[in-house]
Structure 1
Amino acid sequence: MGGHAAFRGAVLAVSGGPDSTALMGCAALGQAGIPLVVATVDHGLRPGSAAEAAGVAVLAARLGLAHRTLAWVGPKPAARLQEAARAARYRLLADLAREVGADLVLTAHTLDDQAETVLMRLCAGSGPAGLSGMAPTRALDGLTLGRPFLSVPKSRLVATCEARGWSFVRDPSNTDPRFGRARLRRLLPLLAEEGLTAGRLARLAGRLRRDEAALSEAAETALRALCRPDPGGEGRLVLDGRGLAALPDAVALRVVALAAAGLQGEATAYPPRLERLERILLGQVLPALREGGTCRRTVAGLLLAAGGGRLTLGPEPPRRSPKPRPA
């Protein structure tokens, strides 16, 4: 994350578990040289969550750190609850950081969390970008999100808390079989016996992140070179089809994904799914461009039209309403 002087202040996300408690304790011992605020997000999903937040506040005061409890209010979805809770947590943390003048949010994700993330994304059929796991740092709504413990095993943080006398709690949802991450967590010891350890999964993520960065840079360069003027007006993007078809498939796929993302902007929560984009682009659009044919396919609300040596991306045309049947 670079030197501490690069940041004005930091918000520490502390739930009260051993990982985040170690983050708070180590930050207090190190005194980073910038203002620190400890934040506990109370999702209100368990009866004991308010008491856990209060426990974090007590330890934070003992360590000489300011503390805030952030409540997730409003209706809670029945489906994909953990995803919604995660999004709410980051939103609340970012809002607090802006309120207190901080530009850095720190979480206590560990090596074990990274391994679980890679396994979850593998089960979901993710490509290299997904399997690269969590990045040590990333942008968060105009701020920086940092994960300083991403290469540290959870067991080491537990031992640190116990040695220092920093009390912590264990979230029962971490072992709740209703959640996919908890079910995969039970598999990790079995996989480790076969050699697929958390460390190896984390190294895989690092290698894929490195390779994905190189492919993404190549795709960005290619996209700039392949863009052509569009006589059809705004809201569309025209690419040199022959140049696109001459690229390696892995780069061509990313070029079109970048072009689609640029057209969609932040207006949609549904970017093209990798499997569908692979099927359409690699199986139909690129063969049409290479053979001088035509092809029109839709994906994620966009129309991909190949023909005349070009690939045009634009909004999907409205669907025709079915004609009423005669009485």
Structure 2
Amino acid sequence: MRPTADLLAALEERPPSPLQGVHDDALTRRGVRLLLKRDDLVHPDLPGNKWRKLRLNLAAVLESGGGALLTFGGAYSNHLRATAAAGRMLGLDTIGVVRGDELASRPLNASLARAADDGMRLHFVTRADYRRKTDPAFLAGLEKRFGDFHLVPEGGSNALAVLGCVDLGRELRGHADVVAVACGTGGTLAGLAAGLDPADQRVIGFPVLKGGGFLADDIARLQTEAFGGPRGDWSLDTRFHCGGYARVPPRLRSFAEEFGQQHGLTPDLTYVAKMLLGVRTLAEEGAFAPGTRVAAVITG
């Protein structure tokens, strides 16, 4: 095998991420046990769902002989940063199409700076052009500019990503009754749900975008592309976007700080904190029967 393929095989041999039980007063009072699925510990540069969603896409690129990998993301995208890191480790060229004005993004924030340091070519486009990211004419323009490339969609969510997330569900079989996960594009939930036991496990997804109910259609589409039809018992709770993507109202910041003080893990404010706030609120509302084991996926 090529050296890059050897590296990918070594990455794929990493053990399952830890499952950590914590004593959370709000849930314990309701007889609910909280478990943290520490997917943030899968890899220092490719945490959690980023690695799971990228690994089969990366394998496909290597199997085809290599080449450049192009993907999309916002100015603070963890997906862009993880893709760049994977490219560096596997010897693949990476191109990141970034939503927003380049001048407004200079100097680069820490996320984009890390991606650039890892060799990613950053291409800034207007928000109007970014909305055309699936338009064949727009993609043809990118191909003319950069040459041939392997396309991975925004957030890494495609059929290969969904298949890569199935193992997350399998790792939780027998350990939880309800699994909670934050949702940006829905790919992680689509695969996670398929890996769980549909007879006695279910998933609740917490969209981090305002009006995130549209993700239900996206998740159904992704499952159809990956498996030929729906899989698993899943639902969405759209109440915990906290004003929209990357919005951080005082209530959310206060919750994240309190959670960190209690459990030694301060959740990221864009995704994980919103999901954990949703889990705690549902417990307080009596949504979980006493004795329920809730596994919250810490995606990074």
TM-score band w.r.t. shorter chain? 0.3 to 0.5
Q: TM-score, normalised by structure 2?
A: 0.34
Q: TM-score, normalised by structure 1?
A: 0.32
Q: Compare CA radii of gyration and give the structure with the larger one.
A: 1
Structure with more relative contact order (C-alpha pairs < 8 Å, separation 6 or more): 2
